[in-house]
Amino acid sequence: MDTIIQFKKSLPLVSVFVVLIAFMPGVCSADSGISTGTMSAFVPAPGLSSGQQAVFNAVNQSCSTFPANSLTALCAGQNSGIALQQLSPQASMQADSIAISSPYDFVKKINTRLQRLRDCDELDKSAAGSSKRGDDCRKKTAKGGSSGDESYIGPFGISVSGGGGFGDRNDARGQTGYDINTQHATAILDYRVNEQLAGGLSMGYLHSARDLNFNSGFLNSDAYRVAPFLLYSPIADSYISFLAGYSRIEFDSNRAVNAPLANGITISDAQASYGADQFFTSLGGGYLHRMDWFNLRGFVRGDYSHTNIGGYQETGAVMSSSGSAALQLGGQTIDSFTTTLGGEVSRAFSVPSLYTVFVPRLRAEWVHEFENGGRAINASLAGVSLNQLSTSGPERNWANLGAGVQMLLPQNITAFIDYEALLIANGSNQIVSGGIKIQF
């Protein structure tokens, strides 16, 4: 009877979890919006992307300009559409991969860790048949079947984690796709003021390496982030979290043009280095419903970020016909506001012989982007303005599916390993991470 009552109470959270899974955005393959045909400098091929059209217009303008410039050499003969795409600033147009390498992913990781600060899973009913709460949440007892360590856990906690991921973005909406590999590291220092309030500082590092399609070069970035946070529990098994932070990103790009150009002209690789400043904030809340056999968590979160990407002037891009095809770009400003609605199922069970409690978890999140949109790019190629150059709008919806296990070990140590998959139209990403926390 108690189980039936508990199940009825959990129906709202179960419904949320089922809806999340049912409405996950699928990965679709859309038309790339990039022309692969050849064309003269006077008659464009159909279906040009924004980048191709901007470069075509610049070459066409150069054919009737006196004195001649570097692009005039492309007026006689046929240029491939892929070469025009490679001449456009595709790498910098991909610098705002919100779902993968923006502050969003860092905020998501921190909030996941913050949720578990309040769990006290080592005395969860499903592991030990105990209903203890309050101060017992910060003790580990042999009777509870967890670590065998009866010492009191102090107010301080230090956790470190790291991992890596891989994914891709298809050629879509006129923008060149890429393969991406990431490595990340995160550290969290937390202090529990009392049973309702905790605070601390989170720090993160993310390296992202994008290899652009069509052998168009690469874009690498290193992000350094710091964010203080507060965690408040108004009632048992609930939480409200708030964090705000700053990130500095350093970009390193290499642009390659290797598709056919008029008269067999070749262009050497172009390089650029530039930076970005990001400010971000997050407010979220959730509730953990404990049952005899498993736990259900529902949560919601809003995240905002403001990014200023600096302009740059490429070096290299030397043309075999003489002159340079270097790009110059102005700065970019990107604002993003996302909401996240999620659910998590967990089940704790103890292994007395190992003095360990294992907590497997399944997690699903649905994310909607409200703010970030297409933007105009202020750029010039070989000193000629690239007019009407713009980025496509971002994907508005995506989902995160995850699975992992948390291990409550002796000596006030907690370890975890997680796997997460990003489901998004025209792309994908998978992340494996692990970490450890010590309380004292």
Mean pLDDT of 120-127: 43
Residue 84 has pLDDT above 80, yes or no: yes
Q: What sign does the dihedral 147-149-155-158 (CA atoms) show?
A: negative
Instruction: Quickly count: other Cβ atoms within 10 Å of residue 332's Cβ.
Output: 20
At a CB cut-off of 8 Å and minimum separation 6, what does 19 contact?
none
Mean pLDDT of the chain: 83
**For 213-292, where are the E strands, in sequence order?**
217-232, 238-255, 270-290
Residue 145 has pLDDT above 60, yes or no: no
Pick from 328, 288, 292, 293: which is nearest to 312 by CA? 328
SS3 349: strand
Residue 28 has pLDDT above 70, yes or no: no
Q: CA–CA distance from 429 to each of 153, 176, 399, 402 (Å)? A: 37, 17, 11, 12
Structural contact between residues 408 and 122, judged by C-beta atoms closer than 8 angstroms: yes
For residue 220, give both structure tokens: 């690498």
Residue 80 has pLDDT above 90, yes or no: yes
Model confidence at 3, in pLDDT bands (50, 70, 90)? very low
Q: State the pLDDT at residue 154.
A: 65
What string of DSSP letters covers 68-134? --GGGGGSSS-EEHHHHHHHS-HHHHTS--HHHHSHHHHHHHHHHHHHHHT--GGG-HHHHS----G
Q: Which residue has the tokens 């000596």?
A: 411
Q: How far apart are CA 88 and CA 255, in angstroms?
A: 9
Residue 152 dihedral angles phi and psi, to the nearest 5°: -80, 135
What is the pTM assigned to this prediction? 0.85
Residue 376 has pLDDT above 80, yes or no: yes
Share of the chain above pLDDT 90, in %: 60
Q: Which residue has the tokens 């050497």?
A: 268
Pick from 120, 126, 125: which is nearest to 138 by CA? 120
Q: How far apart are CA 353 and CA 122, in angstroms?
A: 15
Q: How far apart are CA 100 and CA 427, in angstroms?
A: 10
195-219 burial code (b ≥16 CB/10 A, e <16): eeebbbebbbebebbbbbbbebbbb
Residue 20 has pLDDT above 60, yes or no: no
The residue that leads in pLDDT, 23 or 221, is 221
For residue 333, give both structure tokens: 């400003």
Residue 59 has pLDDT above 80, yes or no: yes
Q: How far apart are CA 170 and CA 2, in angstroms?
A: 51
Q: How far apart are CA 25 and CA 276, in angstroms?
A: 30
Minimum mean pLDDT among 25-29, 99-103, 129-133: which range?
129-133
At a CB cut-off of 8 Å and minimum separation 6, what does 44 contact?
53, 56
At a CB cut-off of 8 Å and minimum separation 6, what does 102 contact?
96, 278, 305, 307, 336
Q: State the pLDDT at residue 95.
A: 66
The residue that leads in pLDDT, 387 or 3, is 387
